[in-house]
Each structure stands twice: as C-alpha cells, then as structure tokens.
Amino acid sequence: MKSSEYQLERIAEAKLPTPFAEFSVTVFRAGDGKEHVVIALGELSGTPPLVRVHSECLTGDALFSLRCDCGAQLNAALQKIADEGRGAVLYLRQEGRGIGLGNKIRAYELQDRGADTVEANHQLGFPADAREYDLAIEMLRQLGLCHIRLMTNNPRKLDALAKVGIEIVERVPLESGRNPYNEKYLDAKAAKLGHLFEPR
Ligand SMILES: Nc1nc2c(ncn2[C@@H]2O[C@H](COP(=O)(O)OP(=O)(O)OP(=O)(O)O)[C@@H](O)[C@H]2O)c(=O)[nH]1
Ligand SMILES: [Zn+2]
C-alpha cells in the first residue's frame, strides 16, 4: 500500500497554550480509529523546520518515569521549537514501540528480572521494534512538510522517512534525560538498535 493511500482524516484543530509556547494542536484519525496528534508552532513552509516524530510513551511522557528518556526528549523538542518560533511534533500513538502499554509493562517486568529492552520484546514474541512510520509520512505529506530538520537519534526513523522522499536536511540529536535508571536502556538502544548517541 502506498503511503498516500493510508486513511488519515484531519478531524479537529485548536490552540494549545503550554509552558513552552502557544502551539496549535491538530488531531488526525487513522483508519483503525486511533487518534494521532500534531503540535505545531509558526509558519511551517519555507526554510526546513524542526520536526520531532515522537512515539507515545505514557509512562515517560505523562507519568514522569525515569526508565526511559521519552519525557525528557519531548520536553527538549518542544523547547527547541519554542526557541526557534517554529516547528512541529508529530505525536504517534504507537506506545511501547508499537506493542502497546500492557505489553510494554510486561517487558519492564522481564527487564526487572535481567533482560534488556530488546531481549524482553523477543521473550514476549514481538520484534525489537514494531513501529511503522507510514502514518507519520502521510501526516507530513498532509502538512506539506517534505524538507525537515528531524530531531532524533534513531537511524531507522531517518531511513523510513528518507526512503519515501522526505528530505532530512539535518539530523538534530536529542540527547537528554540520561539518568541512573535508564543508563542500561540507553546503552542497549545504542548497541542493539543502532541509536546514534555521542560517546560518553
Ligand atoms: N517495548 C518497549 N518499548 C519501550 C521501552 N522503553 C520505551 N519504549 C517505547 O519506545 C518508544 C520510544 O522509542 P525510543 O527507542 O526510546 O526512541 P525513538 O523514538 O526510537 O528514537 P528517538 O527519535 O531518538 O527518540 C515509545 O513508544 C516508548 O513507549 C521498552 O523497554 N520496551
Ligand atoms: Zn519512554
């Protein structure tokens, strides 16, 4: 299926004041009923804007978990966009790298008993990363964003977008939120998932 054939309906838009800036929030509903979100600031056409393609992490983004770096990355991305006065965060509802919240917490249970983040997914019968970026690509298309500066450390994300012709004119590293509770997790991401962290 070509990305342009993905069903994605823009259903609502409003202002979203935050401690960082007054963003706009737009909700897109996908064919499976899931609602994905874009938080945007300023004029997005013209010079390639900062974009973050963020995967939902309820525990990190909303519940202050220190097991991962998601909340810190979301904060940093919104701050960078606010500092530049323009940009967008695509907030994709693919919790737990696509396996869902309950399964992610099962994976945490296994990690509490010694597995790393990749081994835990495999023990549960899932791939290390079950995410797809077709919907993100379709959202970018609908927003008219084909030249972007992507805030990520994840080479798979870069490849997935570049493969369909979205030009990543710059990769902006997003290294924030390392702490004693997520060190092993971040090291496993670098070693097993190829994440591009600066050497410590
Ligand atoms: N299955 C699983 N998912 C996790 C775990 N820790 C975080 N996640 C999920 O991973 C997703 C975030 O992915 P990351 O690999 O941290 O980062 P990324 O988006 O691939 O890369 P960046 O763009 O550099 O942040 C979110 O959906 C989290 O819910 C874990 O231990 N197991
Ligand atoms: Zn997280």
Q: How far apart are CA 55 and CA 91, in angstroms?
A: 6
Domain-embedded: residue 200: no
CATH number, residue 12: 3.40.50.10990
Q: How far apart are CA 20 and CA 25, in angstroms?
A: 14
Please give the mean pLDDT across all residues of the chain: 93
- The answer, yes or no, to whether any atom of ligand 1 lies below 6 A from the CB of 82, is no
**Which atom of ligand 1 is nearest the CA belonging to 189?**
15
Q: What is the domain extent for residue 43?
A: 6-94+132-193
pLDDT tens string 28-74: 999 999 999 999 999 999 999 999 999 999 999 999 999 999 999 99
Contact present, 151 and 51 (Cβ < 8 Å): yes
| Total domains in the fold of the chain | 2
pTM tops 0.80: yes
- The answer, yes or no, to whether any atom of ligand 1 lies below 6 A from the CB of 129, is no
Residues 154 and 71 in one domain: yes
Complex ipTM, two decimals?
0.96
